[in-house]
Structure 1
Amino acid sequence: MRQGEARRNQHLADVFERSGMSQGEVARRVTARARLCGLRHVNPDASNVRRWLHGAQPRDPLPGLIADVFSERFGHRVTTFDLGFGDTPDLDRPLNYSPSFTETVESVTELGRADMDRRKFLAASPFVAAAAVGPSRDWLLATLDREPAAGPRVRLEDVTDVRNMFSRFQEIDVMQGGGSGRLLLTRYMNTHVYPLLRRTHAEDVRRALCGAAAEQTYLLGWMAFDSGEHGTAQRYLIQSLRLAEESGDVRLGAHVLAGMADQTTVLGNPEEGRRLTQAGRQGLKGAESPACLADLWALEARALAVLGNESGATRAIVESERAFEQVAPGAEPEWARFIDGAYLHGEYATALRDLGRAADSAEHARESITHAQAQNRARRGAMSHATLAVSHLQKGDLESAHATGVRTLELARRVKSSRSTEAVRDVQRRMIPFGHHPLVADFNERARHLLAA
């Protein structure tokens, strides 16, 4: 076998052969793609393509451009690792909030494909604290200065089907945890929804489809967040925000910012979490969504509590309660259904817990538990029971904390949720000051089986 053949990139060769394109045509299309991205120095020819086929590794940004060319040819996402250009997908691309709708479609499609095909690698992708700053700014500017875009001709019935599927997947997440339906949703998005974005549509259909895709992409991000895969979650949320902007749905964009704020605060950056909630509220001006507004205020209270700003957090809770009083049943969008008494009282309880106000935290935790029990929502029940257990510990009542902690464990076992598991760990950590008390040992032994799983 000749030396060149020994190094042949068989992955690229297979894709190249299926495409039916010549080496010269591939080179021309890569050049054209580069021009669309403003890369005038990228100008490959047929000899470059021949060298790639024989194993030469193209330099950045060529691998991504080549993948885009074949993706366009086949009508589905072809990634750089599909082409044999290294073993890893470009995980930084979905962190970019691109002004180009075409680039956004490619980014979210590549993310979905990597999530389905290379989940273990993607799960290890890092959360980038600074990545949320640009998207929130760009989304807000776009909501304040919007021009209708022109477009050619999918059907509204297709969009309705996507929205109907959203309600089913959201129900799975709320009732069973993010780890239950995520793989199925990822597959559905890759095989059905993201391909629809590539097709032609009337402008009203395109905007409706972008809104439906944004909802589902947000849910994928939220499920990843609930599974503890924060880098994956961040990438989905950023692309969801961009799709929401394309749809023109300001309420949906503000909702995505709320999710980004929640994650950012949980991961130790409450200052940025608060800024994201403020951007969401600013964008909501002139748009009616009391539920989303209540959520944004609740998450601002969470951020302020972590910062130790008791007066600010208290005011934010009051504003959240005031907004929630204005919610009219049936008037809010489907994605806002989870913003209810179980959820909001749970968030208030967590904020008050972080401020050390044990009695107030316990009061809201019990309210959340009552609502969660009525709806059989194990994840929310587990998290609020954990908060209640901590409030008992803050008051020095280990016996009550143990009993509530055991109930936390029972509920956490019923869902696939790393947040529920982390709530159990939090109770364990806060029991440490009680030393080797038999109740502490008993709780740790009960928790060991759950945490090992």
Structure 2
Amino acid sequence: MKTPNAKLRHWLERSGMSRGELARRVKTKAQQQNEPHISPDTTRVRCWIAGETPRAPVPDILADVFSDHFGFRVTTYDLGLGEGARSDVALVYNASWTATVKVLADLGRADVDRRKLLSAAPFAAVAGVGPSRDWLMNTLDQDPEPGRRVRLEDVTAVRNMFSTFQHMDIFQGGGSGRLVLAEYVTHHVYPLLRRTHSEDVRRALCEAAAEQTYLLGWMAYDNGEQGTAQRYLIQSLRLAEESKDVPLGAHVLAGMADQATLLGKPAEGRRLAQAGRLGLSKANSPACLADLWCLEARALALLGEKSAAAHAVSQSEQAYEHVDLDNEPDWAAFIDPAYLHGEHANTFRDLDDAPAAEEHARRSIAHAKMQKRARRGAMSQAALAVSHLQRRDLDSAYAAGVRTLSLTKQVTSSRAVEAVQDLQRRMRPFGRHRLVADFNERARELVRAA
């Protein structure tokens, strides 16, 4: 027996529409969306309320009908109709600002209400190519658009919350507080995008919302929710364009590049990083430039381009020499020696250059220890351990591996756990050595707990 859809009944009663009126509006909306075959009647609406789930795209059309009626976004989740078809829509860089706001509302609600379902959404290998191209073209030649009206105090509140959640991510890992941030953004930030505001406030609000959306994507990325992360990052890039903040858009592309490379798509990671660097030709952010060169180096190393990767590392270090944190935005706070040397260590690790990898890993570890950044410390200890393994020094690798385990236990980060699992794989050539067996036993406990 089907369970009655109490949510749909609630929204229908709240609207004051009859079942026949809802059926007529759905038919009209379907025709507007080139779906003329959708023509429900009163009986069909009664079946929906009784618990029958309509086929796509009817759930999304119903959401649009109720949204038009109430003047604010009503999602398929609100109507008790699941995720609809809009999780894939979040992979699209939409030129329409209205459509972008709708997608953000649906994406945020999906993340909050059906997190397990959305976390299983796949990473689309080429989804970043179009958005990076569109952002770059619009960044190099864009004109301000007329805006609407919100208070600056609202924007300030959003910025303050960004600093709080970014600090949580840096020191506790992406899995710590991500869902709380999703709740905050969905219920307090995205609704502001639909309100009226002046042009200067509009740009500030889009910038703040882009920062929050990027952070949501980054935290999902660090927590192993790659499909969710990709969707947030693409929509963050669209918000960044709306804000006219070029360095912020380049920063989002850096995050997309990092994710693509991590997931075994280094050619796409390289293209995304290059698009970000080209966009920065119209702006100035040495920290962002250093990050983009750093991530391009990571991709180049996996592509086997040794000299180009080493050149990119050198360019990253030169760019960072010009960084003045007082002149950099809050989102650039993590782009520091602990981070950059840690990523350079991974670059040289992938190039099988053990001495260079060890040097950068030790520098990163020293900075991370002073800052008490366990996640960065864990990943750099793992890079150090690999450099020892590349020299066949199992004793030193084991010691660094144990430190990796200890630090990983202090954070909620799938990337740190994956670094531990990578160490396990790299220790296999040493067979049944007692140190390998002991490390594997300790690692199993950590992975099981994670």
Q: Which TM bucket (shorter chain)?
A: over 0.9
Cα distance in 2, alignment partners of residues 151 and 145 from structure 1: 19
Matched, 1:439 2:435: yes
1:166-219: per-residue Cα shift (whole Å, max 9, x none)?
A: 011000000000011101111111111011111111111111111101100000
Distance in 2 of aligned mates of 1:375 and 1:33: 55
2:309 maps to 1:313 = yes
Q: Which residue of 2 is the match for residue 39 of structure 1? A: 33
Unpaired segments of 5 or more residues in structure 2? none
Query: CA, structure 1 residues 236+57, in 2 after alignment: closer, same or farther (shift >3 Å)?
Result: same
Change (3 A) 1:369 1:242: same
| Amino acid of the structure 1 residue aligned with 2:180 | L
**Greater CA deviation, 343-352 or 143-152?**
143-152
Q: Distance in 2 between matches of 1:294 and 1:341?
A: 11
1:165 alignment partner in structure 2: 161
1:25 deviates by: 5.8
d(CA) in 1 for partners of 2:81 and 2:68?
A: 18
Q: Greater shift after overlay, 151-160 or 386-395?
A: 151-160
Instruction: Name which of structure 1's ranges 98-107 and 358-367 shifts more when overlaid on structure 2.
Output: 98-107
* Counterpart position of 2:232: 236
Letter in 2 for 1:39: Q
Q: 1:51 aligns with which of 32, 44, 50?
A: 44
Quick one: distance in 2 between partners of 1:53 and 1:256? 46
Per the TM alignment, residue 162 of structure 1 is displaced from its structure 2 partner at its CA by: 0.3
Aligned AA for 1:412?
Answer: T
CA distance in 1, matches of 2:325, 2:438: 44
Choose 370-379 or 57-66, whichever is displaced more.
57-66
Separation (CA, whole Å) in 2 of partners of 1:291 and 1:183 = 28
Secondary structure of 1:330's counterpart equals: helix
Displacement of 1:28: 6.9
Distance in 1 between the 2:276 and 2:23 partners?
43
Distance 1:396 1:108, change over 3 A: same
Question: Take 1:340 and 1:141, find their aligned partners in 2: how far apart are those partners?
Answer: 29
Report deviation, 1:147: 2.0
In the alignment, the residues of structure 1 paired with residue 94 and residue 26 of structure 2 have an alpha-carbon distance, to the nearest angstrom, of 19
Preserved contact between residue 7 and residue 54 of structure 1 (Cα < 8 Å): no
Asked if 2 retains the 8 angstrom alpha-carbon contact of 1:176 and 1:414, the reply is yes
The answer to whether structure 1 residue 199 and structure 2 residue 195 are counterparts is yes
Partner of 1:291: 287
Maintained 8 Å contact 1:75/1:198? no
Contact kept, 8 Å, 2:247 with 2:288, in 1: the verdict is yes
Match of 1:399 among 382, 391, 395: 395
* Aligned mates of 1:115, 1:325 — CA distance in 2: 39
- Confirm or deny: 8 A CA contact 2:77 2:110 kept in the other structure: no
Show CA shifts across 1:204-254 (max 9, x none).
111111110110000000000000010110011011111111111111111
- Greater alpha carbon shift after TM alignment, 54-63 vs 141-150: 54-63
Inter-CA distance 178–72: structure 2 relative to 1 (3 Å threshold): farther
For the pair 1:213 / 2:206, whether they are aligned, the reply is no
Asked whether the 8 Å contact 1:409–1:447 carries over to 2, the reply is: yes
Please say if 1:377 is aligned against 2:373.
Answer: yes
CA offset at residue 270 of structure 1? 0.4
Q: CA separation in 2, counterparts of 1:405 and 1:107?
A: 43
d(CA) in 1 for partners of 2:292, 2:331:
14
Q: Out of 88, 91, 112, which is 1:92 matched to?
A: 88
Contact 1:9–1:53, Cα closer than 8 Å, also in 2:
no
- Does the CA contact (< 8 Å) of 1:345 and 1:364 recur in 2? yes
1:8/1:319 CA distance change after superposition, 3 Å: same
What do residues 63-110 of structure 1 show as CA deviations (whole Å, max 9, x unaligned)?
213213323545654322432445666321211111111111111111
Do the aligned residues in 2 keep the contact of 1:237 with 1:260 (CA within 8 Å)? yes
Compute the displacement of 1:130 (Å).
1.4
TM-score of the pair, normalised by structure 1: 0.93
Output the CA distance in 2 between the equivalents of 1:43 and 1:202.
42
Could you tell me whether the CA contact under 8 Å between 2:77 and 2:109 is conserved in 1?
A: no
* Stretch moving more, 359-368 or 83-92: 83-92
Offset at 1:351? 0.4
Aligned partner of 2:334 in structure 1 is 338
**Structure 1 206/14 Cα, relative in aligned 2: closer, same or farther at 3 Å?**
same
What's the secondary structure of 2:304's corresponding residue? coil
How many percent identity over aligned positions? 64
Query: Is the 1:255–1:292 Cα contact (8 Å) retained in structure 2?
Result: yes
What is the Cα deviation at residue 152 of structure 1? 3.0
Specify the code of the residue in structure 2 equivalent to 1:313: A
**Quick check: 129-138 or 6-15, which moved more?**
6-15
RMSD across aligned C-alpha pairs, in angstroms? 2.2
Contact 2:125–2:260 (CA under 8 A) maintained in structure 1: yes
Q: 1:380 to 1:73 in 2, by over 3 A?
A: farther
TM-score (ref. length: structure 2)? 0.94
2:151 and 2:197 in contact (8 A); partners too: yes
Change (3 A) 1:25 1:101: farther
Q: What is aligned with 1:109?
A: 105
For the structure 1 residues 312 and 445, does the alpha-carbon distance in structure 2 shift closer, same or farther, using more than 3 Å as the test? same
The CA distance in 2 between the partners of 1:87 and 1:443, in whole Å, is 42
Specify whether residues 25 and 161 from structure 1 end up closer, same or farther in structure 2 by C-alpha distance, changes over 3 A only.
Answer: farther
Q: How many residues get paired?
A: 446
